[in-house]
Amino acid sequence: MTKMTYSLRIRNPIDRFARLSGAVAAIAALTLPFVAGCEDEDPVVVETDNPPFPPDGVFSVTGDNVVTIYWNENQESDLDGYVVYRGTTDPGPYFFLARVSANQTFYDDFDVNNGETWFYAVTAIDRAGHESELSRETVFDTPRPEGFGLVLVELGQDPTRAGYDFSSKSNNPQSAALSTTDIYFDVQAGVQYVVCADAGVDIQDYGLIDLIAVDWAPESGWAPSKQAEAIKGHSYIVRILDGLGDSNMAKFEVRDVTATTLTLDWAYQEDKNNPELAPGVGGAAR
């Protein structure tokens, strides 16, 4: 008598492997006694087409009225695409947002408003229509306004253009009084400074780092002097207190500084007490 051979092909061995192999072993044990009298049977191939692995490396990049979701490419040979989901809480529920092709590993979500927080997850789908489980990373994002090429004029040159109020989301400050601004540009003894315009505003120099790398506001490290020297290429964090125990965070990078002008790229988080500040890819400082 020829002994029957069972061949099992598993494509996705996460947890399902143990459950499936156990089930196959049980089926084989029940089936073999009934075929004991069969001669010269060809090997039986048991093929299980499981869903793809969930995408990994999922993360988001915050923008101005946009959130971009990224993930690593799946390695299945029969991959057909990815599905992006989002929800308002974690671990869900998550709702369908978009489907993209197998060669795309990002998605721009423009259906968002600044100050709103969304949670995201991604799945993979093969050509047979099998869909993976949701990606395992907890990914959330709160889009916020940003601006590029903001020019402040030194206080002694033009007080009406020296200051800037982040909540106005304008690249053209026209404040006639520094009390209505968050920061202003001033030159003291030949040194250029960014100065907090109000007692409820704090600032710190975050160092020689691109604005795109400043993704989270710190809880401490604020300058006791309420000012920081304006150094080209440095990024800065600003905390704006509302007097009621809440605060908004902002950041900027010094793109250029002279004796009379200061040029900034900036971002401002409208969602109170939210430290997320990562800039969008499209127009971000490099």
Average pLDDT of span 126-134: 94
Q: Choose between 11 and 185: higher pLDDT.
A: 185
Report the alpha-carbon distance of residue 105 to residue 69 in Å, rounded: 8
Question: What number of other Cβ atoms are within 10 A of residue 206's Cβ?
Answer: 20
Q: How far apart are CA 43 and CA 2, in angstroms?
A: 10
163-164/191-196 β-pairing: unpaired
Put the strands of the sheet holding 139-141 in their side by side order. Answer: 95-101, 79-87, 118-126, 139-141
Count of helices and strands (H, E) across the chain: 1, 18
Q: How confident is the model at residue 45 (pLDDT cuts 50, 70, 90)?
A: low
Angstrom distances, CA of residue 29 to CA of 24, 26, 37, 93, 148: 9, 5, 15, 40, 69
The pLDDT tens digits for 59-70 are 988 888 899 999
For residue 39, which amino acid is it? E
Q: What is the mean pLDDT of residues 245-274?
A: 90
- Plot region of 27 (φ>0 → left; ψ -120 to 50 → alpha; else → beta): alpha
The tally of CA atoms less than 13 A away on the side-chain side of residue 224 is 0
Q: Which tokens sit at 71?
A: 């993930």
Instruction: Give the per-residue pLDDT at 128.
Output: 92
Which of the residue ranges 12-26, 101-115, 125-139, 225-239 would you say has the lowest mean pLDDT?
12-26
Write down the residue that tokens 């989002």 correspond to: 86
67-70 sheet: strands from edge to edge: 59-62, 67-70, 106-109
From 43-47, 157-161, 179-183, 199-203, the region with the lowest mean pLDDT: 43-47
**Sole residue written with tokens 């206080």:** 155
Measured over the CA atoms of residue 198, residue 201, residue 204 and residue 205, the dihedral's sign is negative
